């Protein structure tokens, strides 16, 4: 019984891994509604120039810069390797930070790309998505409630209890969370 489960897990992992490699970062950029820097905006052009300068100085291919028009100040590097890496920056971050501060944020992201963090994150995402697929499959075909399926595993019961409260739009009470943790 163990061998078919291991074989199924490996097949799912290979499938998810191939799917992520073929889809690239396009799906994530579409979900974020990311756009290329506007050529008429000085700060956005400056951002792209800083990224190119740092990439050249670090010996990496220059990642494409994408902007997200959102109220939060955030930045991230996404991709599967340094060759298809993208740096996504929120417009608010560009507006709020000085050039030196923006350079520090971008230097951190480019260092992450150079250190191979994208490859590690890609592998971890594939593993976690595969585990999630397996758990969803097992729960779906067991015909049981997820809370009873996992028995006394407190972390899962805690998450299931929180999900139920959110679905009912109830604030979490200490007594209900304590009961879920027992």
In CATH, the architecture of 2-120 is 2-Layer Sandwich (3.30)
Rg of the chain taking only CA atoms, in angstroms: 21
Q: Dmax of the chain from CA atoms? A: 62
pLDDT number for residue 43 = 87
Q: Mind spelling out the 3-state secondary structure of the chain?
A: CHHHHHHHHHHHHHHHHHHHHHHCCHHHHHHHCCECCCCCCHHHHHHHHHHHHHHHHHCCCCCEEEEECCCCCCEEEECCCCCCCEEEEEHHHHHHCCHHHHHHHHHHHHHHHHCCHHHHHHHHHHHHHHHHHHHHHHHHHHCCCHHHHCCCCHHHHHHHHHHHHHHCCCCCCHHHHHHHHC
pLDDT number for residue 178 = 43
pTM over 0.75: no
Rounded mean pLDDT of 32-50? 87
Rounded mean pLDDT of 61-69? 91
Category of 85 on φ-ψ map: left (φ > 0), alpha (ψ -120 to 50) or beta: beta
Give 181's pLDDT tier (boundaries 50, 70, 90).
very low
Rounded mean pLDDT of 76-88? 86
Where in the sequence of the chain do the CATH 3.30.2010.10 domains occur? Answer: 2-120
Give 99's pLDDT tier (boundaries 50, 70, 90).
confident
Rounded mean pLDDT of 49-55? 91
Residue 180: name the closest of 158, 153, 148 by CA: 158
Percent of the chain whose pLDDT exceeds 90: 14
Cβ distance 59 to 82 under 8 Å? no
Residue 39: name the closest of 25, 49, 31, 30 by CA: 49
For the stretch 131-142, pLDDT in tens is 777 777 777 776
């Amino acid at each position: 019984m163990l061998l078919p489960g291991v074989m199924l897990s490996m097949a799912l992992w290979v499938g998810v891994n191939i799917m992520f490699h073929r889809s690239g970062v396009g799906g994530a950029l579409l979900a974020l509604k990311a756009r290329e820097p506007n050529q008429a905006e000085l700060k956005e052009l400056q951002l792209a120039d800083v990224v190119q300068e740092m990439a050249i100085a670090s010996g990496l291919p220059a990642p494409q810069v994408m902007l997200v028009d959102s109220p939060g100040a955030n930045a991230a590097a996404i991709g599967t390797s340094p060759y298809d890496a993208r740096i996504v920056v929120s417009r608010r971050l560009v507006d709020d930070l000085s050039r030196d501060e923006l350079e520090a944020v971008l230097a951190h992201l480019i260092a992450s790309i150079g250190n191979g963090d994208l490859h590690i994150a890609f592998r971890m995402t594939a593993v976690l998505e595969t585990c999630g697929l397996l758990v969803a499959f097992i729960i779906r075909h067991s015909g049981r409630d997820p809370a009873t399926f996992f028995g006394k595993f407190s972390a899962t019961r805690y998450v299931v209890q929180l999900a139920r409260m959110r679905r009912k739009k109830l604030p979490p009470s200490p007594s209900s969370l304590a009961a879920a943790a027992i």
